Amino acid sequence: MQYNHHHLADNTPYVATIGFFDGVHRGHQYLISRLMEQAAAAGMPSMVITFDRHPREVLGSNYQPRMLSTLSEKLQRLRQTGVDRCEVLSFTPQLAALTAREFMQHVLKEQLNVGKLYIGYDNRFGHNREEGFDDYVRYGREMGIEVIHNDAFQLNQVNISSSVVRSFLDEGEVELANQCLGYNYTVEGGVVDGVQEGRKMGFPTANIEPSYALKLIPAPGVYAVKVRVEGTDEWLSGMMNIGTRPTFGENKLSLEVHILHFSGNLYGRTLAVSFVKRLRAERRFSSPSALRNQLIRDEQAVEELFAEAE
């Protein structure tokens, strides 16, 4: 896959970086912007190399990674960086079996024409994980690839990583997760038939079934969200409840979104839900009317939050 290619002589080597880049967070964005500076300084094109699937998904058959982005979301964010070329390698057992040296020689050098490889200190590739940065530098020297290390991007003295973002989302700390990502964490899903308890209380909600089963769902609770209905451009204000609906004695995790002042049937449509702030943890109310009173307060909190932002 190649984007905005600058008709370069085909033999011009690339300045490249490689990684899984889940979420394309600010640490990744920083690495790629440094890569592009290096490429511009060297008069060489820039390339980001990534994978279509999480390595552990391929290697550990029962391992379920929890992803911050789908492949298409990841590619869209990588494209937005303005990098000259984006290469997606298909992560197969054959690829996984290559040693670091074979990978550098056959894939990076011969297939992708990498001249400089820009990587983080802790970035490992190849079958034998004992090898590290110094080994890559040595192999690179043998085959004509200059390996350069990159400093980690820090936000308030914390290294930003995909696992840091995941742990914030697991705690419901969507604002901190968003700061690390540089954008609001978003989950897409189709609207499926719900129990309609909300409608009886004057809070019609759309029940969402996430489109991508591996996508990480933030901690249970009530969130202020922005919602976009497929086929429209507008982000509407809403509130989302993630949880087991304990007031109604259920225990299956459900994702219900209420779009403020919205009337219309959403059944069968796809919604994108972007998390802005967690309002409260999920809790059990003594009665549906106590829950309804709380929902009215939640709705006011969402109105105020988004009114300030405008």
Q: Given this model, what pLDDT does residue 5 score?
A: 47
Q: Given this model, what pLDDT does residue 96 score?
A: 86
Q: Are residues 191 and 126 in the same domain?
A: no
φ, ψ at 291 (rounded to 5°) = -65, -40
| Residues of the chain where predicted confidence (pLDDT) is lower than 70 | 1-10, 60-61, 121-122, 128-129, 152-158, 194-201, 245-251, 310
Helix (H, G, I), strand (E, B) or coil at 248: helix
Q: Given this model, what pLDDT does residue 62 score?
A: 72
Give a yes or no: residue 83 inside a domain. yes
Number of domains in the chain: 2
Name the domain boundary from 125, 159, 193: 159
Nearest to 206 by CA among 261, 252, 251, 271: 271
- Which pair of structure tokens corresponds to residue 27? 């640490």
Strand 85-89 to strand 46-51: parallel, antiparallel, or no bridges (unpaired)? Answer: parallel
H or E element: which one contains 255? strand 254-259
Nearest to 125 by CA among 89, 158, 152: 89
Q: How far is CA 283 from the centre of its chain?
A: 28
Give a yes or no: residue 56 inside a domain. yes
The C-alpha atoms of residue 151 and residue 163 are separated, in whole angstroms, by 18
Q: Are residues 142 and 226 in the same domain?
A: no
Q: Are residues 138 and 210 in the same domain?
A: no
Q: Given this model, what pLDDT does residue 46 score?
A: 97
The C-alpha atoms of residue 22 and residue 25 are separated, in whole angstroms, by 8
The C-alpha atoms of residue 34 and residue 38 are separated, in whole angstroms, by 6
Q: Are residues 155 and 190 in the same domain?
A: no
Nearest to 108 by CA among 48, 154, 162, 42: 48
Q: Given this model, what pLDDT does residue 167 score?
A: 95
Q: Are residues 207 and 268 in the same domain?
A: yes
| CATH code: domain of residue 296 | 2.40.30.30
Structural domain boundaries enclosing 239: 184-309
Whats the size of the chain, residue-wise?
A: 310
Q: Are residues 130 and 201 in the same domain?
A: no
Q: Given this model, what pLDDT does residue 4 score?
A: 46
- Return the axis-axis angle of helices 162-170 and 174-181, rounded to nearest 10°: 160
* Cα torsion 251, 253, 259, 265: sign: negative
H runs (alpha helix) in the chain:
26-42, 55-59, 71-80, 93-97, 100-102, 133-143, 162-170, 174-181, 197-200, 288-309
> Which DSSP state fits 174?
H
Q: Given this model, what pLDDT does residue 121 score?
A: 60
Q: Are residues 137 and 216 in the same domain?
A: no
Tens of pLDDT along 12-41? 899 999 999 999 999 899 889 999 999 999
Alpha carbon separation from 276 to 216, 224, 232 (Å, rounded): 16, 6, 20
Q: Given this model, what pLDDT does residue 251 score?
A: 62
Tens of pLDDT along 109-138? 999 999 999 987 667 777 766 788 889 999
The C-alpha atoms of residue 33 and residue 191 are separated, in whole angstroms, by 38
Q: Given this model, what pLDDT does residue 229 score?
A: 95
The C-alpha atoms of residue 19 and residue 50 are separated, in whole angstroms, by 5
- Which pair of structure tokens corresponds to residue 275? 């998390």
Give a yes or no: residue 166 inside a domain. no
Q: Are residues 122 and 206 in the same domain?
A: no
| CATH code: domain of residue 78 | 3.40.50.620
Give a yes or no: residue 172 inside a domain. no
Q: Are residues 247 and 136 in the same domain?
A: no
The C-alpha atoms of residue 101 and residue 117 are separated, in whole angstroms, by 13
Q: Are residues 65 and 190 in the same domain?
A: no
Give a yes or no: residue 235 inside a domain. yes
Give, rounded to a whole angstrom, the gap between the first and last alpha carbons of the chain: 39
Give a yes or no: residue 263 inside a domain. yes
